[in-house]
Amino acid sequence: MTPRPRSRAHRSRVGLLAALSGGGVLGSLGRYAVGAAVPHPTGGFAWSTLLVNVTGSFAMGVLVVWVLSMDRPHPLLRPFLGVGVLGGWTTFSSFALDARTMVTAGHGLLAAAYVVGSVVVGLAAVGLGVTLGERTFGPRP
């Protein structure tokens, strides 16, 4: 008995899973490497997390404008790059844990600066990415 041929829907689900997992692995390993390359003392300012979150936010701004500018974007492009790579590269959970670690180390003001700074600089980075993206690929529809 020959095995039943795989359906198109099955193949596309496998492709989606591969794009999401593969992208998430790439982004997360990158974030892990940044954390190892830019260490900070316990309770210190988490520069590595700020770095991945700000650069990832900038890239997300560019990515969304780029994908929206395409007539027929590949269906796996946004799952791979947006959810996988950039979702793996950036992190909210470490951001929250960093803030807790700073507070429990007695650096409450530093934690406040870290939280506010991450949000403000992250938003500015998205805006910059969107603006540069629209200059390159044209305004969003």
Partner 1 sequence: MTLTSALLVALGASVGAPLRFLVDRWARRHSRAGTTLGTLIVNLVGSFLLGVVAGLPDATSWVLPLVGIGFCGALTTFSTLAFELWVFLERREWKPFAATLGISLGAGLPAVWLGWAVAAG
Smallest gap, in angstroms, from Cβ of residue 140 to partner 1? 10
Tell which one of 12, 92, 106, 136 touches partner 1 (CB under 8 A): 92
The per-residue DSSP string of the chain comes to -PPPPPPHHHHHHHHHHHHHHHHHHHHHHHHHHHHHHS---TTS--HHHHHHHHHHHHHHHHHHHHHHT-SS--TTHHIIIIIIIIHHHS-SHHHHHHHHHHHHTT-HHHHHHHHHHHHHHHHHHHHHHHHHHHHHH----
DSSP string, 66-81: HHHT-SS--TTHHIII
Least separation in angstroms between CB 129 and partner 1: 9
Q: Which of 14, 25, 109, 113 binds partner 1 (CB under 8 A)?
A: 25
Does residue 113 touch partner 1 according to CB under 8 A?
no
Query: Does 133 participate in binding partner 1 (rule CB under 8 A)?
Result: no
Within 42-61, the residues that bind partner 1 by CB under 8 A are: 52-53, 56-57, 59-61
Would you count residue 99 as binding partner 1 (CB under 8 A)? Answer: yes
Is 108 a known ligand-binding residue?
no
CB within 8 Å of 37: residues ≥ 6 apart = 48
90 is an annotated ligand-binding site residue? yes
The binding site for partner 1 (CB under 8 A) comprises 16-17, 20-25, 27-29, 31-33, 35-36, 52-53, 56-57, 59-61, 64, 79, 82-84, 86-97, 99-100, 115, 118-119, 122-123, 125-127, 130
Detail the residues annotated as belonging to a binding site for Na(+): 87, 90
Detail the residues annotated as belonging to a binding site: 87, 90
